[in-house]
Copies of this chain bind each other. A is one copy, B any other.
Amino acid sequence: MPYKAIPEIGEFGLIKRIAALAEPTLEAVPELLQGIGDDCAIYQPDGALLQLSTTDLLADQIHFDLLTTPLKHLGSKAISVNVSDICAMNGVARYALIALAVPSSFSVEMIEELYRGMSLAAEHYGIAIAGGDTSASRSGLFISVTMIGSVSPQQLTKRSGAKPGEVICVTGRLGGATAGLKLLMREKEIMLEHVQNNEPYTKNVMADLEEFRDVIQCQLLPQARPDMVSLFHSRQIRPTAMIDISDGLSGDLQHLCQESKVGALIHESRIPIHPNARHIADELQDDALTWALTGGEEYQLLFTLPKEEYLALADHPDISLIGETTDAEAGIHLMDIYGMKIDLQSVRGFDHFRS
């Protein structure tokens, strides 16, 4: 058998090859309206409502580090990242199935703590934990959550509906998740150094992270945006295309544009950067704009709307208009504060297999 290493084609190259293998299976199931290629699969049983489903797996040492992540937070995050995919289709999450692989070093209480976080998040979002599978693991914790939601055909929003000349909006403030991660990694290094040198890692050594609580929360306890979906529904707004920016603004804008066959021009000056992310980037001599563009794990929504419909949302403090869609040939660019156009295809998003 030939051997091509996964990093050679990357996460998205791999998805393409997997999708090609899944393709022949689609024909047998006409009720499946959308397979691989959006935030969720779309399935229409016999009623009017469409069923949405999505699965996201969190792997030890890849997506989280138990040295810096409380189990309860991790459980909550596993729910939120899946709710976020349902939100990205303008749908409402209803129930989750949880598959866990648990190393033998885990106690019953640790699993309960993880589930407590899931259960609290589920109550927060109004979803049920409906079933699952719990297995042993020879190494590391793996959390695989599948979320089922529903949406009416009139409200369904895919990645593919944007047209040139529409506005591009994003919810929330960006860069906080990366800022939080950088702080936690720095603190972890300090802790490990102390352990290696047999020095006590006590309160006086620990950084006081209280003032950065909000960005650490962005990383450890991100919130999906069903409130935005409710807002769209109540104001009778239907975005033409939507995606959650779990792979970073730059990468996910490109996914949306590819599926919609449009280009985009977004403006640096309009990107809502988390104030504490700027502060921390300065302290670490890093760049908050890069974090906002390429940092993953921002469970905010990126969407497009006809200009005239944007007026119904313009008053909302948590929605920023960051640019407009263009013809596909114009490409996907960021206009920086000096008026320079930067090709976003040169700004790489997050790829779990490459980083």
Contact = CB atoms under 8 A, between A and B. Distances in A.
Which of A3, A13, A18, A112 counts the most B-chain CB atoms under 10 A from its CB?
A18
A40 B54 CA distance: 17
A5 B144 CA distance: 22
Contact of A144 (B1, B55, B112): B55
B94 A31 contact: yes
Interface stretch (A19-27, A181-189, A253-261): A19-27
A127 B29 contact: yes
- What secondary structure prevails in chain A residues at the interface with B? mixed
Given A29-B94, A43-B95, A95-B32, A14 B142 contact: no
B49 A106 contact: no
B45 A130 contact: no
A46 B49 contact: yes
Contacts of A137: 59, 62, 140, 142
A112 B9 CA distance: 13
A352 B8 CA distance: 36
Contacts of A47: 45-49
Please tell me how many copies of the chain the complex holds: 2
A53 B21 contact: no
Given A32-B128, A35-B128, A138 B135 contact: no
Given A14-B111, A22-B119, A49-B46, A57 B138 contact: no
Interface in A68-109: 94-95, 97-102, 104, 106-109
Nearest to A53: B97
A4 B109 contact: yes
Query: A-B pairs with the 8 shortest C-beta distances?
Result: A47-B47, A46-B47, A144-B144, A41-B130, A22-B129, A29-B128, A146-B146, A57-B99
Given A22-B119, A26-B129, A28-B126, 19 more contacts: A1-B109, A3-B109, A21-B129, A25-B127, A36-B132, A41-B130, A41-B131, A43-B148, A46-B49, A53-B148, A54-B131, A55-B146, A57-B100, A62-B101, A63-B135, A99-B99, A104-B353, A137-B140, A140-B140
